[in-house]
């Protein structure tokens, strides 16, 4: 049969090449291409190769691929071609820019990419491929994998920090939080989200609660203007007492754990909460038919013990612990948000 232009399966072809494009972005970030171009504005191929300590031939192919992906620009300057960052690269890919995604990109390269290279096994076995990819078993992905080495820990924290800085404002401003005076950000990591909450709500103080291994690194990530309304408490949210607050924030926590484990955490939170206390969940919400967004469904393939859920699934989970869904916000950023309120058990709906 005749093959017409409409028959070209563009979406399949771009999926087919997608992994090469991802790895081009990861490699350019890892080799600091965006950083060296940022400090010199524009550089020739040879200058970039020299500064990133790589072959001219390899650098040329990497830079040309990055230009084709819209990550870099190449322009003529007095008979020579020079490379420079696109506006987007300057804003999101340079490692010390305020909205940098660099930490998350390096985490994807170093932690997620190796896991996905074993996806066939992950699907056959239905388990995380951490041991195949990294030669080590892990029971708890945070304590056994991410936090067993300082270098890996900082990279993971950097990844969380970069996403939280990009999404934090939208999450913090998703709802009217004026009834709340004290919040506790459960698993609040570097505090990046907490600072966005205090910036957005002048009457709110936020306690960041996370594992001791994380809290001990907090100074590494402290913003320039510190805020004495943000404080840090170390502990394990499955085992230790949680700080008292009238709003609890769970940002990117619930998707990491099974329903069974979450019942342990949620029943502790439920005990801490008096009627009227808020619980703000921020995640990528799946649509009710579990068809979109694919970001969430692709992330689920890393086969941690958790799962991606829809707003109804989150509500079912939380309603078992006395929290009623009040508002939902699709932010159009990387994370959505839902606000739950603890009901008075005496006024329980029938
Ligand atoms: N909430 C942050 C955000 O949205 O950027 C970080 C999300 S990260 C996916 C999960 C966080 O939960 C990590 O900071 C991790 O250290 C913390 N965490 C994992 N297990 C924990 C536990 N048992 N007790 C306290 N924190 C824990």
> Ligand 1 mean position to 148 CA, how many Å?
15
Active centre residues (catalytic): 255
Ligand 1 interacting residues, C-beta cut-off 6 A: 142, 160, 163-164, 187-189, 193, 210-211, 214, 236-238, 251-253, 256
Q: What is the CATH number of domain 5-92?
A: 1.10.10.10
Which atom of ligand 1 has the smallest separation from the CA of 238? 23
* Closest CA to ligand 1's atom 24: 236
Q: Which ligand 1 atom sits closest to the C-alpha of 236?
A: 24
For residue 193, give the DSSP letter. Answer: H
Atom of ligand 1 nearest to the CA of 188: 1
CA-nearest residue for atom 2, ligand 1, is 188
DSSP string, 93-141: TSTTSTT--HHHHHHIIIIIHHHHTTHHHHHHHTS--HHHHHS---SSI
Ligand 1 midpoint to CA 340 (Å) = 20
How do the pLDDT tens digits run along the chain, 350 residues long?
666 777 889 999 999 999 999 999 999 999 999 999 999 989 999 999 999 999 999 999 999 999 999 999 999 998 999 999 999 999 999 999 999 999 999 999 999 999 999 999 999 999 999 999 999 888 888 988 889 889 999 999 999 999 999 999 999 999 999 999 999 999 999 999 999 999 999 999 999 999 999 999 999 998 777 789 999 999 999 999 999 999 999 999 999 999 999 999 999 999 999 999 999 999 999 999 999 999 999 999 999 899 999 999 999 999 999 999 999 999 989 999 999 999 987 776 54
Residue 293: is the preceding peptide bond cis (ω within 30°)? yes
Atom 20 of ligand 1: nearest residue by CA position: 142
Identical fold, 5-92 and 103-347: no
Ligand 1: residue whose CA is nearest its atom 23:
236
CA atoms of 251 and 257, how far apart (whole Å): 13
CATH superfamily ID and name for 103-347: Vaccinia Virus protein VP39 (3.40.50.150)
What tokens appear for 259 in the block? 């329903």
Ligand 1 binding pocket mutation candidate from 158, 187, 232, 236 (most atoms within 8 A of CB): 187
Nearest to 255 by CA among 188, 197, 314, 334: 314
Alpha helices in 216-277 (DSSP H): 218-221, 259-272
Q: Which of 253, 269, 300 to mutate to test the pocket of ligand 1 (most atoms within 8 A of CB)?
A: 253
Please state the φ and ψ torsions of residue 236, each to the nearest 5 degrees.
-105, 120
Ligand 1 centre distance from Cα of residue 187 (Å): 3
Of 79, 74, 78, 39, give the one whose Cα is nearest residue 60. 74
pLDDT score of 224? 74
Closest Cα to atom 9 of ligand 1: 252
Cβ proximity of 299 and 107 under 8 Å: no
Domain boundaries, the chain: 5-92, 103-347
Atom of ligand 1 nearest to the CA of 253: 10
What gap in Å lies between CA 107 and CA 150, rounded to an integer? Answer: 14
> Ligand 1, from 103, 186, 210, 221: best to mutate by most atoms within 8 Å of Cβ?
210
- Asked if the interface predicted TM-score (ipTM) of this complex is over 0.95, the answer is yes
154 CA → ligand 1 middle, Å:
13
Per-residue pLDDT, 349: 54
Of ligand 1's listed atoms, the one at least distance from the Cα of 240 is: 24
CA of 251 to the centre of ligand 1 (A): 8
pLDDT for 4 equals: 76
Report the distance separating Cα 108 and Cα 204, nearest Å: 34
**30 phi and psi, to 5 degrees?**
-60, -40
| Gap from CA of 183 to ligand 1 centroid (Å) | 16
Cα–ligand 1 centroid distance for 161 (angstroms): 11
């Amino acid at each position: 049969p005749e093959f017409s232009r409409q028959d070209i399966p563009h979406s399949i072809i771009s999926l087919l090449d997608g992994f090469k494009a991802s790895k081009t972005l990861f490699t350019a970030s890892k080799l600091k291409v965006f950083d060296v171009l940022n400090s010199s504005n524009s550089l020739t191929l040879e200058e970039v190769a020299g500064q990133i300590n790589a072959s001219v031939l390899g650098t040329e192919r990497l830079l040309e691929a990055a230009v084709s992906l819209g990550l870099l620009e190449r322009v003529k300057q007095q008979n020579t071609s020079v490379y420079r960052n696109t506006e987007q690269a300057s804003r999101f890919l340079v490692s010390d820019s305020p909205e940098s995604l660099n930490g998350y990109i390096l985490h994807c390269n170093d932690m997620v990419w190796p896991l996905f290279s074993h996806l066939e096994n992950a699907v056959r076995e239905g388990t995380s491929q951490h041991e195949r990819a990294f030669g080590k078993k892990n029971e708890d992905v945070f304590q056994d994998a991410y936090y067993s080495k300082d270098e890996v820990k900082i990279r993971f924290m950097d990844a969380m920090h970069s996403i939280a800085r990009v999404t934090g404002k939208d999450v913090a401003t998703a709802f009217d939080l004026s009834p709340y005076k004290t919040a506790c950000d459960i698993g609040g990591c570097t505090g990046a989200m907490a600072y966005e909450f205090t910036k957005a709500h002048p009457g709110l103080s936020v306690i960041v609660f996370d594992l001791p291994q994380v809290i001990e690194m907090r100074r590494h990530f402290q913003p320039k203007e510190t805020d004495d309304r943000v404080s840090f408490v170390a502990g394990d949210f499955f085992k230790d007492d949680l700080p008292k607050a009238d709003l609890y924030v769970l940002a990117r926590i619930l998707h990491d754990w099974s329903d069974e484990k979450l019942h342990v955490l949620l029943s502790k939170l439920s005990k801490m909460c008096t009627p009227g206390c808020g619980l703000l969940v921020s995640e990528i919400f799946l649509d009710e038919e579990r068809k979109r967004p694919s970001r969430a469904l692709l992330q689920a393939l890393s086969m941690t013990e958790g799962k991606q859920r829809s707003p109804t699934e989150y509500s079912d989970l939380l309603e078992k612990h006395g929290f009623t869904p009040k508002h939902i916000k699709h932010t159009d950023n990387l994370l959505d948000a839902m606000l739950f309120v603890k009901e008075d058990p005496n006024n329980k709906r029938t």
